[in-house]
Chains A and B, each alone.
Chain A
Amino acid sequence: EAGVTQSPTHLIKTRGQQATLRCSPISGHTSVYWYQQALGLGLQFLLWYDEGEERNRGNFPPRFSGRQFPNYSSELNVNALELEDSALYLCASSDWTSGHNEQFFGPGTRLTVL
């Protein structure tokens, strides 16, 4: 069974630009979570999508947004990039209806903002 996939592996942008990151969940999983892993800040919850809807977001500004498509894949958009957005962005999928929220992670997208 294929795991969670993310693309691209690496992304280099300059300040003010927009970045788009993509994630495909495990087959059968309807929930997608996005996390930011920035140096020194640990793993922080960004967004949760389920059944095509944004269900919750973490403590991040509105320029972090995204969507979930009918096939449950997801896209994270970061507008007006700032230097501190440089981080590893991890996507996870879950069959949260199990009640335990066991999440399976992709390899991540390394975003570098110059």
Chain B
Amino acid sequence: GDSVTQMEGPVTLSEEAFLTINCTYTATGYPSLFWYVQYPGEGLQLLLKATKADDKGSNKGFEATYRKETTSFHLEKGSVQVSDSAVYFCALSDPGGGADGLTFGKGTHLIIQP
């Protein structure tokens, strides 16, 4: 079945550092790919998405590119802030439109220190 693998962390960085959170997936066909963010005590917020190979999703300074050849969707940000501290989830949706819900990675806990 489909699966998503991401580094679990915690990942600790200093403010203004460069961020990369790796995400790789296993799926048949061409899934849609997503990054969600969860702040403490809250639900998930959609951060960005990409629906086909070579698409780049971007939002709030975060970017991720759908790489079919490496089955990856790594999240990057050039300069992180303390307010970016949260848990980040990589997820995929099967090409059929979602009968099995989203498949999530285990989440990466990001801590940004001032």
Interfacial residues, chain A to chain B (CB-CB below 8 A): 4, 6, 31, 33, 35, 42-43, 45-46, 48, 55-56, 58, 90, 92, 94, 96-97, 99-108
Contact = CB atoms under 8 A, between A and B. Distances in A.
B59 to A, nearest CB: 13
Instruction: Give the interface size bracket for B toward A.
Output: 20 to 34
Interface string B40-74: 00111110010100000000000000000000000
Given A102-B46, A103-B46, A42 B107 contact: yes
Interface in B87-114: 89, 93-94, 97-107
B97 A43 contact: no
B2 to A, nearest CB: 11
B25 interface: no
Nearest to A91: B43
Interface of B: 32, 34, 36, 42-46, 49, 51, 89, 93-94, 97-107
B49 A102 contact: yes
B31 to A, nearest CB: 9
7 contacts: A42-B105, A58-B101, A90-B43, A94-B98, A96-B97, A100-B32, A101-B93
